A and B are shown apart, each in its own frame.
Chain A
Amino acid sequence: MKYHVVTLGCQMNMSDSERVISVLEEAGYQWTDNEEEAGVIGILACSVRQKAIDKVYSRIHKWNKWKNNKNLVTFISGCILPDDHEKFLKLFDITFQMKDLPELPKMISSYGITTPTHLNVGIDPHNENIEDFWNVQPHYQSNFEAFIPIQNGCDKFCTYCAVPYTRGREVSRPSKDIIAEVALLVAQGYKSITLLGQNVNSYGLDKKGEELTFPQLLREIGELGKRMKKEFWLYFTSPHPRDMTDEVIEVIAEYPVLGKQIHLPMQSGDDKVLMRMNRKHNMEKYRHIVETIRRIIPQATLFTDVIVGFTGETEEQFENTRKAFDEFKFNMSYTAIYSPRPGATSHRWVDDVPLEEKKRRLHQLTEDLRKHNLPYNESLVGQTVRILVRGEDRKEGFLTSYTEGKLTIRFACTDKSMIGQFADVKITSASDFSLEGELVEVAASC
């Protein structure tokens, strides 16, 4: 039977969908790009974003109509709030939590034999069987870049975020399994591996004394990199400043395979906004981390996440975020306009910054980022850097790649066999958000 899976939301859902696909393939189902010819269709949903939830409704209404003319089994999983879960119970044939993924083929084959409600399990925030899910060998979507979940759930309860309510409590995956998955991927020639979790650097804290800490896990992977003598870059996302210790930074500096790019969500540059966001870090702590990174790994690039227009954010508080941009000179910021997420605490608070003002703040920060990026990127012109080729560029005759610090570089080449390979590129020109270069050793067919 053919199946189709729709994945909405963030990188975590993308990574989960690799395991869903793998379980279905293993059970003998065949993938189809065409929803209409599938006998089983599933969605990995995301309650965290209203738009993603709207998409679920429009899809399921369409599929349920198809059921008048053909046999179709629908399922849903992912990041789902209890409220949405209640509604989906009535609309989908099967709802399940990721920890129950290994049971999915059984649920599909017994659908129609047992009653539908029997197959619909409630949301259990404790993630006790999540290891069964992690033990599923994923069907990786790329043959040179892979994401490895190392932890599920979040206990931080930032007031703007619904993840603690959708993914439940923080649970760390056994380190031996993570290291084994990294080793397997490296042996298969993967070049870029990202450890994934809502709070990667609180890894192990739920099993204190029994499991490695996050810096210990990184060290083990660094040692593995030395032993395997294969070139790869290992990243992680997202860490929380609260749990970012000096030790993490020291370990990154020590091992060549640990990518010199650090993503450190700041969210706001104002202490009061951070309090209201319940971030449990303040600017003093954030500054300490950035200073430590600059001192120990001066070549590291720094990425961040910022929310503009959070409930009650005043002009002065926003200006503090701008000052933080001036101070930290991020290489990239994923800046989001605040919108109340159903299920999150701040959803109950007045969303009082007008949309136009939020847009202005977003635009302003993008301009600030541009202003700081340009001189940094220009300073790289003339340097030869190692890059990982990722695909064809929008500009014809060019390939796109990124540096170890995840800065995008394009270069003239039409040899697609270079995709997924490392190469050396001399940077020839720079703009605010990208770089251009030329291959140092030109492939025969470029």
Chain B
Amino acid sequence: MKKHKVTQVRHLTDSTFVIRFERNGMEFQTGQFVLLGTKGAVDRREYSIYSGENDDYLEVLVREVDGGKVSSKLKKLKAGDLVDVDGPFGFFKFDPQSFQVQQFLFIATGTGISPFHGFVKTHPQLNYKMIHGVRKVEEAYDHDDFNKERVTLCTSGEKGGDFDGRVTEFLKTETIDENTNCFLCGNSEMIYEVFDILSEKGIPTSNIYTEVYF
């Protein structure tokens, strides 16, 4: 476990923020997560790395969970504070060279967009499509960092996104080539449903990669 200094906190909505902290030489592969907590705290949590492999800092995208032990403390961080970081961990690693077919579909709910932000930042030439499910339009976290034409924002709580409704409803209307490499990240309910839909569409299990947040 190492101490890293926070250099910036960007609040994207009332509850969601990006914490940037010193990288201190940590090597990682985009898609991995770190264990993060405030300095000296007993509790730490997993957070996907939001920044790219080539950035000289590390970033995570965090949503404060109601009554959450760690996320509420992280929300109070300011530049100059220290955080405890351990990692990187995980096998949701992303190296486009290791895929025979260069065609990717990213499906996220909420802050589940975080690893995909890292993927795209690290590999800007990627042939991808992303479906991002949120409740409100304001939760389109840093969508400017993605190619607009490749992204579908599904809003379930209000109109104004690219699609009014849940990710799963949108996905049902889509045709997906069975060679597509599908990456799913976010809450398990969405991942379960999407897994079924993709299976029905003939995508083999070996082409589906998942990261469950809760």
Contact = CB atoms under 8 A, between A and B. Distances in A.
Q: Do A and B bind each other?
A: yes
Interface of A: 82-83, 86, 124-126, 155, 157, 159, 164, 242, 271-272, 275-276, 278, 280, 282-284, 312, 345, 348-349
Given A83-B42, A349-B214, A272 B192 contact: yes
Given A276-B188, A280-B91, A282-B205, A157 B46 contact: yes
Nearest to B191: A275
Interface in B43-89: 43, 46, 86, 89
Given A272-B188, A272-B191, A272-B195, 15 more contacts: A82-B42, A83-B42, A124-B1, A155-B89, A157-B90, A275-B188, A275-B195, A275-B210, A276-B188, A276-B212, A282-B205, A284-B206, A312-B188, A348-B214, A349-B214
A150 B46 CA distance: 28
A160 B188 CA distance: 14
Interface string B165-191: 000000000000000000000001001
Interface residues of B, number: 17
A349 B212 CA distance: 12
A272 B197 CA distance: 13
B42 A275 contact: no
Contacts of B206: 282, 284
Interface of B: 1, 42-43, 46, 86, 89-91, 188, 191-192, 195, 205-206, 210, 212, 214
* Complex A-B, nearest 7 residue pairs according to Cβ-Cβ distance, in ascending order: A275-B210, A82-B42, A280-B91, A272-B192, A276-B188, A83-B42, A276-B212
Nearest to B91: A280
B88 to A, nearest CB: 10
A273 to B, nearest CB: 10
Contacts of B42: 82-83, 86
A229 B157 CA distance: 72
Contacts of A349: 214
Given A272-B195, A276-B188, A284-B205, A157 B212 contact: no
Nearest to B206: A284
Contacts of A124: 1
15 contacts: A82-B42, A155-B89, A157-B46, A157-B89, A157-B90, A159-B212, A271-B195, A272-B188, A275-B188, A275-B212, A276-B212, A283-B205, A345-B46, A348-B214, A349-B214
Contacts of B89: 155, 157, 164
Nearest to A83: B42
B205 A271 contact: yes
Nearest to B37: A82
B200 to A, nearest CB: 14
Contacts of B212: 159, 275-276, 278
Nearest to A242: B91
Contacts of B192: 272, 275
